[in-house]
Amino acid sequence: MTDQLLLAALAARENAYAPFSKFRVGAAIEDAGGRIHTGCNVENATYGLTLCAERVALFKAISEGARQFRRVAVAADTDILTPPCGACRQVLWEFCGDVEIALANLRGKVETCRLKDLFPRPFDASYL
Ligand code: THU
């Protein structure tokens, strides 16, 4: 696998803090300037305060000043590739719109989809 974004997501997964679920996820987001922002899931003993890898990566990017994004990658150790959860789809829509999302596992399986297909009728600022 040579795609830098996928490699970044796989590397970020290594930092996952997932002692409760043992389900480790990595995410990487490429901004409009080509910079890659990464995240892993960070769990908490209260469970409900857990943050997914996608939102960690996106919020890191936002807090660094990035506002436009080209691509997202998500890596997990599953045969059926792991897509972003519903909450992450909503948050990704806010900042990335109909972005391309690459899903990968540890054995080199990769699929690409678009957020609009995963999240066909989003609520967003256009309703406000
Ligand atoms: N998780 C993510 O980080 N991203 C996803 O796309 C799916 C779920 C995390 C949250 C939790 O730490 C663990 O995976 C099990 O749900």
Render pLDDT for 26-45 as a digit per residue (tens, 0 to 9).
Answer: 999 999 999 999 999 999 99
Average of pLDDT values for 70-89? 98
Catalytic residue among 14, 30, 43, 54: 54
Supply the DSSP string of 63-115, one letter for each residue.
HTT---EEEEEEEES-SSPPPPPHHHHHHHHHHHSS-EEEEE-TTS-EEEEEH
**Which residues approach ligand 1 with their CB closer than 6 A?**
18, 21, 23, 25, 41, 43, 50, 52-54, 74, 82, 84-85, 88
Percent of the chain with pLDDT over 70: 99
Q: Which residues pair with 110 in a beta bridge?
A: 104
What is the Cα–Cα distance from 48 to 40, expressed in whole angstroms?
16
Q: Is residue 128 very low, low, confident or very high in pLDDT (cuts 50, 70, 90)?
A: very high
Q: Write down how long the chain is.
A: 128
Confidence check: pLDDT of 1 > 80: no
Confidence check: pLDDT of 53 > 90: yes
Reply yes or no on whether 54 is catalytic. Answer: yes
